[in-house]
Amino acid sequence: MSIRVAIAGPRGKMGAEAVHTVMKHDKMELVAVLDYKEVGATLADLPMFPASYTVPIFTDMHELVEVTAPDVLVDLTNPHAVYKHTKEALNLSVRPVIGTTGFTDAQLEELSALAKEKELGCIIAPNFAIGAILMMKFAKEAAKYLPDVEIIEMHHDQKLDAPSGTGVKTAQMIQEVRAQKAQGHPEEKETLEGARGADFDGMRIHSVRLPGLVAHQQVLFGGDGQLLTIRHDSLNRNSFMSGVAFCVEEVMKMDQLVYGLENII
Ligand SMILES: NC(=O)C1=CN([C@@H]2O[C@H](COP(=O)(O)OP(=O)(O)OC[C@H]3O[C@@H](n4cnc5c(N)ncnc54)[C@H](OP(=O)(O)O)[C@@H]3O)[C@@H](O)[C@H]2O)C=CC1
Ligand SMILES: O=C(O)C1=N[C@H](C(=O)O)C[C@H](O)C1
């Protein structure tokens, strides 16, 4: 039996790519998409999709679920919409697979409790690319030995959240193994605010936004007379799609929320 999938954010860079991925997948059926404005009756009305994509577009999650009964909601929208979508999906017994970034810790905790109460799988994946997951795992390992760390994440200039979800997740994973320490000179002073980046438990995260970039991150470790750099580059959005498909299949087997693909690969 096919997994019935709905996608929120189908006109976006990631959403459109995910639409093609699910349409092509032999174990999935794209039953609906969710937009927030009236853009057409089906995907075939949108210029970026072929006429054969007669998948209905909804602007209301309750109606979408009532009419098309999806098993999974894939959300690729923005930090303002995603929390509401995830909560609504869980309350309607639809399993969320969330790629959208920008959750607060409190939101993650609340959604985790809700998924547990509903005994529903839910995956919140700050990064779907296997190379990025490996970068984070390798960075966590390196931090055991080299606790002086700076994260430099680099993205296209249309990105709404900073630091990136991947940058935050990397810092959280490193925090699990790194003895807390403030980096740099104890008396260092910024003569221009923000020059030293964001402070995450003493580690620094720097966000670069430029046209031409897609999604890139390097984690720099400094030690006596040596520097280790772990770097990952997503060169296009196809890099995320095998992760999206993997999560849609995995979430059907789960009964709780998982934050980060490193916990299930
Ligand atoms: N986990 C991962 O591996 C990855 C995650 N991301 C994350 O995915 C998200 C989307 O990224 P990207 O595709 O580049 O962004 P885009 O801005 O290209 O796409 C977002 C889309 O969502 C639409 N949208 C906004 N609000 C709603 C809503 N309430 N309901 C339905 N649709 C809505 C937007 O419409 P409009 O333009 O009209 O506002 C837009 O079409 C971001 O949070 C990004 O960080 C990105 C890449 C990989
Ligand atoms: O907005 C993006 O493009 C990306 N967002 C995710 C993030 O915030 O980490 C994943 C990837 O870096 C691309």
Same domain for 201 and 120: no
Query: Mean pLDDT across the stretch 245-257?
Result: 98
Residue 180's pLDDT is what?
A: 84
pTM of the complete model: 0.97
Same domain for 9 and 115: yes
Which residues sit opposite 221 in a β-bridge?
A: 149, 228
Cβ(100) – ligand 1 distance below 6 Å: yes
Residue 241's pLDDT is what?
A: 98
Residue 182's pLDDT is what?
A: 84
| Å from CA of 257 to ligand 2 middle | 20
Q: From the CA of 261, which ligand is nearest? A: 1
Cβ(77) – ligand 2 distance below 6 Å: no
Residue 75's pLDDT is what?
A: 98
Query: Mean pLDDT across the stretch 99-116?
Result: 97
- For the CA of 101, the closest atom of ligand 1 is 43
Cβ(9) – ligand 2 distance below 6 Å: no
Query: Mean pLDDT across the stretch 259-265?
Result: 96
Whether 155 is a known active-site residue: answer: yes
Whether 85 is a known active-site residue: answer: no
Same domain for 142 and 229: yes
Same domain for 175 and 46: no
- For the CA of 161, the closest atom of ligand 2 is 8
Same domain for 258 and 176: no
Residue 181's pLDDT is what?
A: 87
Same domain for 78 and 135: no
Residue 105's pLDDT is what?
A: 95
Token pair listed for 243? 């992760």
Same domain for 59 and 148: no
Residue 5's pLDDT is what?
A: 98
Helices (H), the chain: 13-24, 61-68, 82-91, 105-118, 130-143, 165-175, 241-251
Residue 34's pLDDT is what?
A: 98
Same domain for 39 and 85: yes
| Å from CA of 10 to ligand 1 middle | 8
- For the CA of 164, the closest atom of ligand 2 is 8
What does the alpha-carbon distance between residue 205 and residue 104 come to, in Å, rounded to a whole number?
A: 17
Same domain for 104 and 27: yes
Q: Is the ipTM of this complex over 0.95?
A: yes
Same domain for 112 and 135: no
As for how many domains the chain has, the answer is: 2
Q: From the CA of 129, which ligand is nearest? A: 1
Same domain for 246 and 145: no
Same domain for 149 and 25: no
Residue 239's pLDDT is what?
A: 98
pLDDT digits (tens, 9 = 90+) for 165-198: 999 999 999 999 998 888 899 999 999 999 999 9
Query: Mean pLDDT across the stretch 29-57?
Result: 98
- For the CA of 13, the closest atom of ligand 2 is 3
pLDDT digits (tens, 9 = 90+) for 14-29: 999 999 999 999 999 9
In the predicted model, is pLDDT for residue 134 greater than 90?
Answer: yes
What does the alpha-carbon distance between residue 135 and residue 156 come to, in Å, rounded to a whole number?
A: 20
pLDDT digits (tens, 9 = 90+) for 190-246: 999 999 999 999 999 999 999 999 999 999 999 999 999 999 999 999 999 999 999
pLDDT digits (tens, 9 = 90+) for 81-96: 999 999 999 999 999 9
Q: Kindly indicate the confidence band of residue 140, based on its pLDDT and cuts at 50, 70 and 90.
A: very high
Range of the domain at 255: 3-124+238-263
Token pair listed for 239? 């890099």
Could you tell me the CATH number of the domain that includes residue 104?
3.40.50.720
For residue 226, report the phi and psi dihedrals to the nearest 5 degrees: -150, 155
Which residues are CB-neighbours of 126 under 8 A, at least 6 positions away?
101, 164, 165, 166, 168, 169, 259, 260
| C-alpha pair distances (Å), 245 with each of 26, 44, 92, 221, 237 | 11, 22, 22, 33, 13
Strands 3-8 and 122-124: unpaired
Residue 197's pLDDT is what?
A: 97
Residue 46's pLDDT is what?
A: 98
| Å from CA of 178 to ligand 2 middle | 24
Query: Mean pLDDT across the stretch 50-67?
Result: 98
Q: From the CA of 130, which ligand is nearest? A: 1
Residue 82's pLDDT is what?
A: 98
Could you tell me the CATH number of the domain that includes residue 186?
3.30.360.10
